[in-house]
Amino acid sequence: MSLIDLMHKRTAVGVFSKTTDSAFVEAAGYAGLDFIILDTEHGPASLETLHHHVRAAKLTAMQAIVRVKGVEAHAIGSALDTGAAGVQVPNINSAEQAREAVNAARFHPHGSRGVCRFVRAANFGDQDKANYFQEANQAVVVLQVEGLEGVRNLDEILDVPGFDVLFVGPYDLSQSVGKPGEVDAPEVVSLMQDIARKASAKGVLLGAFCDTPSNAKLLRKEGFQYLAYSVDINIYLEACKQVKEVGDE
Average pLDDT, the chain: 95
**Per-residue pLDDT, 106:** 98
- The domain limits of the chain are 3-139+207-248
Question: Going by CATH, does the domain composed of 3-139+207-248 fall within 3.30.420.10?
Answer: no
Confidence of residue 249 (pLDDT cuts 50, 70, 90): low
Flag whether pLDDT at 247 surpasses 80.
no
The single-letter DSSP state of residue 46 is: -
Q: How far apart are CA 247 and CA 249, in angstroms?
A: 6
**Per-residue pLDDT, 1:** 82
Flag whether pLDDT at 141 surpasses 70.
yes
Q: Sort 50 into a burial class: Cβ within 10 Å, 0-12 / 13-18 / 19+.
A: buried
Q: How far apart are CA 77 and CA 108, in angstroms?
A: 13
| Tens digit of each residue's pLDDT (9 = 90 or more) over 14-43 | 999 999 999 999 999 999 999 999 999 999
Q: Which residues are catalytic?
A: 42
CA nearest 105: which of 73, 135, 143? 73
Q: Region 49-58: what's the mean pLDDT?
A: 98
| Tens digit of each residue's pLDDT (9 = 90 or more) over 193-246 | 999 999 999 999 999 999 999 999 989 998 999 999 999 999 999 999 999 988
- Better-predicted residue by pLDDT, 101 or 175: 101
Q: Percentage of residues in the chain with pLDDT exceeding 70?
A: 100
Confidence of residue 11 (pLDDT cuts 50, 70, 90): very high
| Tens digit of each residue's pLDDT (9 = 90 or more) over 125-134 | 999 999 999 9
**Per-residue pLDDT, 202:** 94
